Amino acid sequence: MADGHGDELEAALRARARAEGLCFAATFHESTAGDGTAFAELTQELKRADAHYVVVPSLDHLAGQTIPREMLLAKLASDAEAQVWTLQT
């Protein structure tokens, strides 16, 4: 995760969530194979917890999988009614 800067990145994500009044619940990240398992787990957890926000470092963190980013964003919106925020927005 982030080339050895995982702790710093997670701290920034936690700070962003806190600044927005959100509870940071968990970090999900794909294996290097990017098989979509973590994305499926994220979607399932959003629905289970009735949570509607995902904070990512950048939208590039939803890229690099076999499914295009726009489809992943649409799936989060339709399946879990979730909005995706980045550290910059």
pLDDT tens digits for range 26-80: 998 877 666 788 889 999 999 999 999 999 998 888 765 667 888 889 999 999 9
Query: No. of H helices and E strands in the chain?
Result: 3, 2
**What pLDDT band is residue 89 in, cutting at 50, 70 and 90?**
low
The one-letter amino acid code at 51 reads A
Model confidence pTM above 0.85: no
> How many domains in the chain?
1
Q: Which domain holds residue 69?
A: 2-86
Nearest to 74 by CA among 65, 83, 66, 87: 83
Q: Which residues pair with 54 in a beta bridge?
A: 84
Neighbours of 69 (CB within 10 A): 15
pLDDT score of 2 more than 60: no
